[in-house]
Structure 1
Amino acid sequence: MTGAREIRRTLAEISAAGSTVEYLAVDITDPAATAAALAPYKERVTGLVHGAGVLADQLIANKKASEIERVFAPKLTGLRTVAAALDADRLRHVVLFSSVAGFFGNRGQSDYAMANEVLNAWASSFKKNHPAARVTSLNWGAWDSGMVSPEIKAVFRERGIVLIPVETGARLFTEQFAAGRAADVVTVLGPTTPLSEPERSAATGPVTVERELGALTGHPIVTDHVIGDAPVLPAVAALGWAIGAVERAGGTPVRQVRDFAVHKGIVVDGTQPDRLSLTMTPAGDTVQVAIRSTDDKGAVRPHYGAVAVPGTVPAAATVAGLPALDGGRDAGELYTDGTLFHGPALRGVRRILAEDAARLVLRAELAELRPGDGAFGGSHFAPGTADLLLQAGLVWVKLFEDSASLPLGVASVDLHHPLPDGEPFLIVVEPAGGGDASTSVLTVTACAPDGTVLVRFDGVRVVSAPQLAAKFAGGVSG
């Protein structure tokens, strides 16, 4: 059989490369058989790659329970069974083969999509419980091999979907073990579009959505963002809402935003509006976003504005010459000396690694905050970690202009990769020119320890506000 020949050839190639390999045949949906097969290796296994899967495509109205169980069994029961047969605390690498069908959905694959999305959730849960392990759920696009028959290939060609060549897929897989990919708990590899596009009428005019502020004002992202004695809605929450709303309305990831501006921040002191409206207006390849409130007399007040550019993917970039993560000095005092005003949930600036006006480098690490069940974020943006970039701008102004300050806007936001959740990364702050006596213009870049750019804020405008220094220090709580 072709499968047996491929297995023998693979085993021979691994042996020829100098590695020891053993092949075990077992039904991974059978807990007892799996535990018995893996028992001799339990104390030695430090990595798990789970790639099992079965297709039984059928429209949901015609699905049979037996077909759903057949699809669920290898992916879900199989993963649970294998994981239970191993020592979870010994696992340094866990890689799951999920699918874009789970990430985006796919016609005729409701059960397959659900099974793969469960893998994504399992990966996030396992990473939370085993933070030292490298855990990744790879949401693969279709490979030019394996389950993809010639007939399916023809369908993909008609839809304009590019298949992943075997060599490319193998390279993408091995790259996940590199240090730069350590934060990729859930990632999409291959085309970042659904395998079957839903019919969607493109909006030709403005679309407005509204959101109550009540639930958000009690969240730590607001209650730990206090100036003086009043919580203030973080600018990144508004930016994240804009990104997420455009993604959900258009079905396309937003990786670039231009001209984000804070017109009138929202202070949660009892006078704040009960609800905000977000209006999306298509303008060519962009979407103009305006966040406003309306008072009891019908007067409209603008709060934030931005221009989203759906579908634009920033070119890969790196930052060279970065210092080691454990150098420099502790940054804890920044949250008590009037530099920063943030409470415990937002205190993610950990060390000052390089202290120069031409290039300030900070070490950052923060467990992500996702208010509103993710409504204030997007596929590549979460507000808690993103706030650390604006905090870094305030640190630069305090260190080199000796003033408290607040952000006014960002000329351009490039989202290369999601910021790591609870893992260290670096923030580089550099003056960009174009400022004046009261306003500094900065470039703030978040990058992985190897220099891979994750997020870049260009043209961050920060206004000096010396009168706020006392409020910054006075509003801090331990």
Structure 2
Amino acid sequence: MKLANRINSSSVFLVSGGARGVTSECVIRLAQQYQCKFILLGRSPIIEFEPDYVQNYFDESGLKKSIMEYQLSQAQKPTPISVQKIFNQISASREIKNTLSRVQQAGGSAEYFNIDITDYVSLYAKVTHFSAITGIIHGAGNLADKLIEKKTEQDFEIVYAAKVQGLENLLSCVNISQLQHLILFSSTSGFYGNVGQTDYAMANEILNKSAHLIQQKYPNCHVVAINWGPWENGMVTPELKKAFTERNIGIIPIEIGTQMLVKELNSGNQVTPQVLIASPITPPATKLNSELKTYHIHRQLILEENPFLQDHVIAGKPVLPTTCAVSWIINTCENLYPGYRLFNCTNFKVLKGIIFDENFVEEYILEIQERVKNNNSQEIEVFAKISSGKSHKIRYHFSGDFKLLREIPPAPFNGFPETQENTIPYWEDNNFYQSWVGMLFHGPSFQGIKNFITFSREKFTAKCFWQKIEAKQQGQFPVQWFNPYALDISTHPLGIWLQHFYQESVLPASLEKYEQFATIPYNEEFYISGEIKSKTDFNLVADFVIFNSQGKVSARLFGVTFIRWFMTYANKSQSEAS
């Protein structure tokens, strides 16, 4: 959806939580950019005339010392709670005044009202005086971080109401159909979840879903829920900051965060009503129980819920790609062991593929047998197999050994081979998926070969590009750490190689070892190098390396065995290749 950029000096934003913290910094940046007007709402009162005993103190230690001395002079007994309470009141008032001053200096204008947005009556009485509100920025929020068994109803209400009831009240006080912008400050806690923040995560996820619904109902309004990661001076306590550091979560600098907000509002493109601005979150490591367990996980496969299968059809029947079976196992293991990721897979075998034909059964069983669980080395090893049963007969489809680690080793680098254009066969249009329909039967979900930069009887390197498909297209096999669609492309250059030199086609049968160091690139170029290790009339063994444009290895496959596929295809390029 394309929206005109309508923010200008006449724009009026109603901003909750807008006079302090992160939201105030965003308001100031918008004032600098557009010189617009802001109606700022917050729970902290402005102290017009500060007591004499605090007027000359501005740092925390000096201010608190002055408060303590004053209480002693009044024959009061200072306590940490009483001192902190006065300190918070003075600091909040000063911050609000500073925000109003900075907005004015930036060329905008702002009014502040001491209102709790969960109090609808007071909010409505004040906001209805402003008839020209063109946008809402909902930045208010509270924290009450505790493990769920320790949370009280009051904890939940304080956190939940500010986000959810606050949004409902704000929207009830304006004419939504006249709004040009609705910006909801959500959090990565709603997207990823976070320990101790069940209420905060729930409230923010409601903001996310609300953005989708409101955008559908009011398509002319720029609606977006921004799932912010932690900010430099946001609601990040020292304890939280330490936890973020341990999980490699980056803190958003004020300058960068406010700039990204302006960019979002200035883009004029409503591609999605939910935006994630944060570094990827690594879940805290699961403490491993020494007891080795076996899991049996049942799953139904439904053709209609997996549209990508229509792009993987062999002999007229949709076939589950081997890489999707691997993804099935990996994603399940990573859900079983939060904080751990697949590092390698060994001895993987295709026992009987899953074909959506007359013999297809809907229910399958993934059996995961724990072999090693080590808290010291932070590694987990399991044996996994996928089976199904029909008429009391068990069929085994896939099996292999999988190792998961808490920390993946650094990615090695792969040297770029020198381009050998004079040795590469000439293909007129390089549209391999139309010209080579024998081995390359793949539809758009799995297409990626662009061209070759080396090509010989022993080795080849191909440049690739995989366009990420929508979540709905991925169905029951979503892209996570492991990408089954991009990995499937790794064998496609081999198909071209085989057709060119031998006019043969093959299918994967087994794999000695797979290693993954990083996610396979998508929506950008990457490279696949293959080396033929052996070939007979019936099978072929090859190694593959997948690396990005800087040479950083994403994944390596060793000892991939393919078996010959005895079928005849119409291939217009086959005669040319021979």
Shift of 1:250: 1.8
Return the match for 1:307 from 389, 402, 415.
402
**Match of residue 443, structure 1, among 526, 530, 545:** 545
CA offset at residue 114 of structure 1?
0.9
**In structure 2, do the counterparts of structure 1 residues 105 and 228 end up closer, same or farther at CA, with 3 Å as the change threshold?**
same
Do the aligned partners of 1:348 and 1:388 also contact (CA within 8 Å) in 2? yes
Q: Report the Cα distance in structure 2 between the residues aligned to 1:126 and 1:462, rounded to whole angstroms.
A: 52
Offset at residue 287 of structure 1 (A): 2.4
> Quick one: structure 1 residues 188 and 341, their matched pair in 2 at CA, closer, same or farther if it must change by over 3 Å?
same
Q: Distance in 2 between matches of 1:291 and 1:97?
A: 40
Corresponding position of 1:470: 569
1:140 to 225, 229, 236: 229
Residues 43-101 of structure 1, C-alpha deviations (whole Å, 9 max, x = no match): xxxxx97643112457568643x75454234334555757985989889xx78441447
Aligned counterparts of 1:365 and 1:259: Cα–Cα separation in 2: 27
Shift of 1:37: 6.1
Correspondence for 1:45: none
Cα 1:5–1:338 change in 2 (3 A) is farther
Query: Unmatched 5+ residue regions in structure 1?
Result: 43-47, 322-327, 474-478
1:243 and 1:355, CA in 2 relative to 1: closer, same or farther beyond 3 A? Answer: same
String of CA shifts for 1:211-233, please: whole Å, max 9, x gaps.
24453686334454221023222
Over 3 Å counting, the alpha-carbon distance change for 1:414 and 1:20 in structure 2 is farther
Aligned to 2:469: 366
Please give the alpha-carbon distance, in whole angstroms, between the structure 2 residues aligned to 1:318 and 1:76. 48
Q: 1:356 aligns with which of 425, 430, 453?
A: 453
Contact 1:222-1:233 at 8 Å conserved across structures: yes
**Match of residue 356 from structure 2:** 268
Question: Is 1:341–1:472's contact at 8 Å kept on the other side of the alignment?
Answer: no
CA distance 1:116–1:471, change in 2 (3 Å) = farther
Specify the alignment match of 1:111 in structure 2: 199
Name the SS of the counterpart of 1:334 in structure 2: helix
Does the CA contact (< 8 Å) of 1:394 and 1:405 recur in 2?
Answer: no
Change (3 A) 1:412 1:204: same
Instruction: Give the match for residue 15 of structure 2.
Output: none
- Which residue of structure 1 lines up, in the alignment, with residue 142 of structure 2? 54
1:349 Cα offset (Å): 3.2
How far has the Cα of 1:364 moved from its partner? 2.0
Conserved? CA contact 2:133–2:179, under 8 Å: no
- The residue aligned with 2:441 is 341
1:192 aligns to 2:282 (yes or no):
yes
Query: Is contact 1:406-1:464 (8 Å) kept?
Result: yes
**Uncovered stretches (5+) of structure 2, i.e. residues with no partner:** 1-89, 265-270, 417-427, 455-460, 573-578
Deviations 1:19-58 (A, max 9, x none): 655546466667977798694655xxxxx97643112457
Q: Distance in 1 between matches of 2:212 and 2:463?
A: 32
Given that 1:237 and 1:377 are in contact with CA atoms closer than 8 Å, whether structure 2 keeps it comes out as no
Alignment of 1:53-452 (within 5 A): 53-56=141-144, 59=148, 63-64=152-153, 68-78=156-166, 81=170, 96-100=185-189, 103-107=192-196, 109-119=197-207, 121=209, 137-138=226-227, 140=229, 145-148=233-236, 153=239, 162=246, 169-170=253-254, 173=257, 185-186=275-276, 189=279, 192-194=282-284, 202=289, 204-215=291-302, 219-254=306-341, 256-259=343-346, 261-264=348-351, 265-272=353-360, 274-283=363-372, 284=374, 285-293=379-387, 301=396, 303-313=398-408, 315=410, 331=431, 333-334=433-434, 337-343=437-443, 347=445, 349=447, 353-357=450-454, 358-369=461-472, 376-377=477-478, 379-381=480-482, 386-391=484-489, 393-395=491-493, 397-398=495-496, 402=500, 404-407=505-508, 408-409=510-511, 411-416=514-519, 425-433=523-531, 435-437=533-535, 438-445=540-547
Q: 1:38 to 1:260 in 2, by over 3 A?
A: farther
Shift of the 316–370 alpha-carbon distance from structure 1 to 2, 3 Å rule, reads farther
Give the alignment's TM-score, normalised by structure 1: 0.65
Query: Could you tell me which residue of structure 2 aligns to residue 458 of structure 1?
Result: 556
| Helix, strand or coil at the partner of 2:463 | strand
Q: Distance in 1 between matches of 2:547 and 2:175?
A: 41
Larger radius of gyration: 2
CA–CA separation in structure 2 for the residues paired with 1:365 and 1:160: 29
CA 1:162 to 1:253, structure 2 compared with 1: closer, same or farther past 3 Å? Answer: closer
Change (3 A) 1:89 1:226: farther
Task: Name the SS for the 1:433 alignment partner.
Answer: strand
In the aligned structure 2, how far is the partner of 1:441 from the partner of 1:79?
55
Q: Quick check: 2:297–2:366 contact (8 Å CA) kept in 1?
A: yes
In the alignment, the residues of structure 2 paired with residue 163 and residue 306 of structure 1 have an alpha-carbon distance, to the nearest angstrom, of 27
Cα distance in 2, alignment partners of residues 347 and 112 from structure 1: 37
2:129 and 2:440 map into 1 onto residues whose CA distance is 56
- 8 Å CA contact 1:162, 1:191 repeated in 2: no
Q: Distance in 1 between matches of 2:251 and 2:244?
A: 20
Distance change >3 Å, CA 281–CA 392, structure 1 → 2? same
What CA distance in whole angstroms lies between the structure 2 residues aligned with 1:404 and 1:22?
Answer: 70
TM-score, normalising length: structure 2: 0.56
Percent of matched pairs sharing the same residue: 19
User: Residue 405 of structure 1 contacts residue 462 of structure 1 at CA under 8 Å; is this kept in 2?
Assistant: no
Tell me which amino acid in the other structure corresponds to 1:341.
F
- Range 116-125 or range 426-435, more displaced: 116-125
Amino acid at match of 2:492: L
